[in-house]
Amino acid sequence: MYAYDEIDRTLVNERVSEFRDQVQRRLSGELTEDEFKMLRLQNGVYLQLHAYMFRVAIPYGTLASNQLRQLAHVARKYDRGYGHFTTRQNIQFNWIKLSDLPDALADLAEVGIHAMQTSGNNMRNVTSDQWAGVAPGEIEDPRIWSELIRQHTTLHPEFSFLPRKFKIAITASDHDRAAIKVHDIGLRLIKNEKGETGFEVLVGGGLGRTPFIGKTIKHFVHGRDLLSYIEAILRVYNQYGRRDNIYKARIKILVHELGIEKFSREVEEEWQHIRNSSLQIDDEVIEDIRSRFIYPAYEKLPHMPDELRQAAADPDFEAWRKNSVAAHKNPGYSIVTISLKPIGAPPGDATAEQMDALADLADKYSFGEIRVGHEQNLALPHVAKRDLPALWKALDKLGLATPNVNLITDIIACPGLDYCSLANARSIPIAQELTRRFANHELANLIGRLHINISGCINACGHHHVGHIGILGVEKNGEEVYQITIGGRADESAALGNLIGPGVKFDEVADVIEDIVEAYLALRERPEELFVDTVKRLGVEPFKERVYATR
């Protein structure tokens, strides 16, 4: 994990005191709500249906155990004892009081956590692969570069009032766990023929009401030029991005309207002016950031210890291990994903007690480190294989060992109408009902990898376009209606799902999903063919026929 130095700490503290002053001016009436709105949004504070919602950044998804404990403390002291992990490596608290916010931020600042730019029309929290630094075959740890970008984008004097929000994601593995193709800028870390680090740069991806898959704007930008190239993209966007219509203000619309060729020419021209400026990064700067990332001192351990061999006799343990434990770059260790999707519960929620207990488990079994993924699950990234049985027992007691990672009940959902003032329809109750329908682990396993994504409005916070099955709630004549798409995906082969047919009512959604799954089980060529591959092979039609035949 990255350890703040005095410089980082000073900045975060200065930001807290600025926000304290802003809240004070709002409470005294010196600031109007309109003026304050932008200021609070720059610091992750939304006004929701029932209360203020507070979104805290977990840059590139890396948390230290003391940071997780502090999040638990905030949940307990200022909220209702739980937090909600989002699809962009943030955590949200839904019931916080405005007057408490400065203190909550000050508490978080003590452990190097902030909420800067987790909302508003600025550069948002930089996200990355939750397995960064531990995934086998990774080119190098993308978090070094993520941290460089995090610093560069924090309180940027030119780009804090963009036409619209701006999201950057970065990956360094073949398998893209960071969804870079649906970000405003997606960065794929690669090496050139000289072995130097650089990036394939994608631009203009995004979901929302007009979804686009990002396009490659440059095949290789050298690491030393990364900041100047990003700055060039931002400068073109800041000047030419549309500001007349909020729904057309994202960079994806500018790229679409200009065309990628013209857009990239504009960026190239701008970049030539600034690439040899003080934005150029030398190796020493990268080394300095790298030196403040703390890496575990791994032991040389067997990849098949006795503890694991013995535990294999327990079918519950085996079910969990096969589902939630992934290979680590060091053969004596594993990456353990912790499902925050227990049957019947809102996806992504964790209680303060669970967070505290997980922090303890991270200290005991994972060198004090926890990761947060965009699928709204957590991970312990450095677990010795001999410790897996003990860890599983402890997680099971906490209700955190549901073996459903990547299965049909591992649902991504936005908060929906239960919390959100933008939503048109409920999301969480749909997710809860679906987890109950597919609660049988053998059935879920038989179905295999299948991602369901649910959004309660067209803003697509639940990323429904890229769900293998996407569910979008809309409002029609005062009723909640759900549009269902199939065949989307968010990984390196990112694609948008296709509509399967007319929208259905709230009560019918789970039935329709069951029908889709039944159709898949009948249509797949062999058990290994994933749902999304069957859809790719056959298209929407055969599914549509089966689902709507009886409706």
Interface with another protein (CB under 8 A) = 5, 7-8, 10-11, 14, 17-18, 22, 30, 35, 38-39, 121, 151-152, 154-162, 235, 238-239, 243, 273, 277-279, 281, 284-285, 288
Q: Which is nearer to another protein, 80 or 156 (CB)?
A: 156
Q: Please report how close the Cβ of residue 374 comes to another protein at its closest, in angstroms.
A: 25
- 193 three-state secondary structure: coil
Q: Which is nearer to another protein, 121 or 339 (CB)?
A: 121
CA angle at 319 for the pair 317 and 324, rounded to the nearest 5°: 90
Q: Which is nearer to another protein, 243 or 449 (CB)?
A: 243
Q: How far apart are CA 525 and CA 359, in angstroms?
A: 44
Q: Please report how close the Cβ of residue 271 comes to another protein at its closest, in angstroms.
A: 13
Helices (H), 79-218: 101-109, 143-153
Q: How far apart are CA 254 and CA 289, in angstroms?
A: 34
Q: Please report how close the Cβ of residue 27 comes to another protein at its closest, in angstroms.
A: 15
Q: Which is nearer to another protein, 33 or 306 (CB)?
A: 33
Q: How far apart are CA 432 and CA 438, in angstroms?
A: 10
Report the DSSP pairing between strands 452-455 and 215-222.
Answer: unpaired
Q: Please report how close the Cβ of residue 289 comes to another protein at its closest, in angstroms.
A: 9
Residue 372, strand partner residues: 378
Q: Which is nearer to another protein, 239 or 440 (CB)?
A: 239
Residue 350, strand partner residues: 83
CA angle at 465 for the pair 542 and 411, rounded to the nearest 5°: 90
Q: Which is nearer to another protein, 4 or 548 (CB)?
A: 4
Q: Which is nearer to another protein, 76 or 152 (CB)?
A: 152
Give Cα 197 distance to the centre of its chain: 25
Q: Which is nearer to another protein, 243 or 256 (CB)?
A: 243
Q: How far apart are CA 103 and CA 109, in angstroms?
A: 10
- 546 three-state secondary structure: helix
Residue 85, strand partner residues: 91
Q: Please report how close the Cβ of residue 110 comes to another protein at its closest, in angstroms.
A: 17
How is residue 59 annotated by DSSP?
Answer: G
Q: Please report how close the Cβ of residue 22 comes to another protein at its closest, in angstroms.
A: 7
How is residue 383 annotated by DSSP?
Answer: E
Q: Which is nearer to another protein, 167 or 235 (CB)?
A: 235
Q: Please report how close the Cβ of residue 423 comes to another protein at its closest, in angstroms.
A: 24
Q: Please report how close the Cβ of residue 285 comes to another protein at its closest, in angstroms.
A: 5
Residue 293's contacts (CB-CB under 8 Å, 6 or more residues apart) are 1, 2, 3, 133, 141, 143, 144, 147
Closest C-alpha among 549, 480, 551, 547 to residue 519: 547
Determine the residue type at 120: G
Q: Please report how close the Cβ of residue 132 comes to another protein at its closest, in angstroms.
A: 21
Q: How far apart are CA 203 and CA 216, in angstroms?
A: 6
Closest C-alpha among 375, 374, 380 to residue 358: 380
Q: Please report how close the Cβ of residue 226 comes to another protein at its closest, in angstroms.
A: 13
Q: Which is nearer to another protein, 10 or 440 (CB)?
A: 10
